[in-house]
Amino acid sequence: MNPFASINIQSLPGPDDTRRVVLQNGITVLVRPNPESASVVISGYLQAGSLFESDEKAGLAYFTATALMRGTARRSFQEIFDALESAGASLGLGCSVHTASFGGRALAEDLPLLLELLAESLCEPVFPAEYIERMRAHIMTSLAIRAQDTADMASLTFDRLLFPGHPYGRADEGYPETIAAITRDDIVAFHRRHYGPRQMVLVITGGISPDAALEQVEKALGSFANPDQQLPPVLPEVKPLLKTIRQHVKIPGKSQADLVIGSLGPRRNSDDYLPISLGNNILGQFGMMGRIGDVVREQAGLAYYASTSLNGWIESGSWEVSAGVNPDNLTRATDLILQELKHYIQDGISLEEMQDSQANFIGRLPLSLESNSGVANALLNLERFQLGLDYYRRYPGLVAAVTPEQALEASRRYLDPRHLVIASAGSKKS
């Protein structure tokens, strides 16, 4: 099997067809044209994530990001909405631990409008009081729904136990008591301190030349400035698990229990990330959710779903097994997953399994880059994790070079079946 057979390496994004420019105010712009497309996609982020907020005001970064488009110094919320709708365009903002993010799409001819609305939202929001209260009510409703969702609560509990006292362990959307405590003044102050061009990244892909795109970005955002923009704080050390920690969240009346089992994982730019990703694909993703899915769902019939995920971030990561089960099967499903994790760490994977996983990784790469949005997200990750503009050209070779022994060695550095977080949520614990 030759995983390179159907890959045209030169068709993948690379330094020869992607323009990267840093504007004088610190904004990094990446542009990759797609002459066959009549539309454009923008994607990017600013250093204004939840790591800047306190535990008492958890959710402040999220609240701020989602309030940016509720009105600017130049347009009301309705005028912003009407401008986007009349152009058939979209624009949205969100938040994660490290960054506030944005994304949008429009016809190439409407890119100036999209960038103008983005600039107004980032630089000149007015945070109308009436919309702040409407948004607070909306967020509180979402949090109430979250509290009754077994998958969400198991995941939140897992993060809190795996990253105690760390921003990675805190819910980006906050909690009812913290959202209730956030004032409009808090939002205004957060925006003033943290929204600025330093380390901002903007990616544009689609039917526009790099020169034209850069000219439009300079016009819309070249004057963006904030001399008071604060640097990101030094995050606390992520500490490894020293024992297995279990916790169950009781949610009465649920016919399904959700389960998350796992440990710390590598940072996204760690040398261990790719070998572990290939192993994780075998463990709980490839085919019918890998080995975990086969053993727990297909053979034992104990789960509605069972799969694994590897999440790599800037400071650390997580390696998780997730499953949805009948509450009466929670203990049996947990034991079977633990058994399979021990088998994986003790015995590793076969050469055939590795070759199948490699072919899957390489074969699906071009599919992920078929759309403008796929390319934009890919380029954004290159910049976020400093992987280099030639990463996707090198990627097939990097994948093909991993051996089963390397995957097992890297996996053992993170996954210890004796030291895990086991979080579950549902009507009862069996």
Positive or negative: CA dihedral 69, 72, 76, 82: negative
Edge-first strand order for the sheet with 257-265 is 245-250, 421-426, 257-265, 317-325, 303-312
- C-beta separation of 274 from 398 below 8 A: yes
Which helix (H) or strand (E) segment holds residue 131: the answer is helix 129-147
- Mind listing the pLDDT tens digit of every residue in the chain (430 residues)? 555 556 788 889 999 999 999 999 999 999 999 999 999 999 999 999 999 999 999 999 999 999 999 999 999 999 999 999 999 999 999 999 999 999 999 999 999 999 999 999 999 999 999 999 999 999 999 999 999 999 999 999 999 999 999 999 999 999 999 999 999 999 999 999 999 999 999 999 999 999 999 999 999 999 999 999 999 999 999 999 999 999 999 999 999 999 999 999 999 999 999 999 999 999 999 887 899 999 999 898 999 999 999 999 999 999 999 999 999 999 999 999 999 999 999 999 999 999 999 999 999 999 999 999 999 999 999 999 999 999 999 999 999 999 999 999 999 999 999 999 999 999 865 4
Name beta bridge partners: 203.
30, 43
- The CA distance from 98 to 113, in Å, is 28
**Shortest CA distance to 98 belongs to which of 221, 273, 235?**
235
Q: What are phi and psi of 89, to 5 degrees?
A: -105, 170
pLDDT at residue 9, rounded to an integer: 87
Kindly list the structural domains of the chain, giving each domain's residue range(s) and its CATH number in brackets, ordered by start.
Answer: 14-221 (3.30.830.10), 245-426 (3.30.830.10)
- The CA distance from 167 to 230, in Å, is 17
257-265/90-95 β-pairing: unpaired
- C-beta separation of 244 from 420 below 8 A: yes
**Shortest CA distance to 135 belongs to which of 101, 90, 180?**
180
Radius of gyration of the chain (CA): 23
**Number of Cβ within a 10 Å radius of residue 418:** 10
- The CA distance from 252 to 174, in Å, is 23
- C-beta separation of 232 from 47 below 8 A: yes
Q: Which residues contact 97 (CB under 8 A, 6 or more apart)?
A: 49, 50, 51, 167, 168, 172, 313
- The CA distance from 169 to 160, in Å, is 4
pLDDT at residue 288, rounded to an integer: 76
- The CA distance from 70 to 73, in Å, is 11
Q: Quick check: helix, strand or coil at residue 17?
A: coil
Distance of CA 9 to the CA centre of its chain: 26
Edge-first strand order for the sheet with 90-95 is 19-22, 28-33, 201-206, 39-46, 100-107, 90-95
- The CA distance from 249 to 45, in Å, is 34
- C-beta separation of 201 from 379 below 8 A: no
Distance of CA 133 to the CA centre of its chain: 28
**Number of Cβ within a 10 Å radius of residue 158:** 25
pLDDT at residue 430, rounded to an integer: 47
The tokens for 318 are: 């997580």
- The CA distance from 225 to 240, in Å, is 40
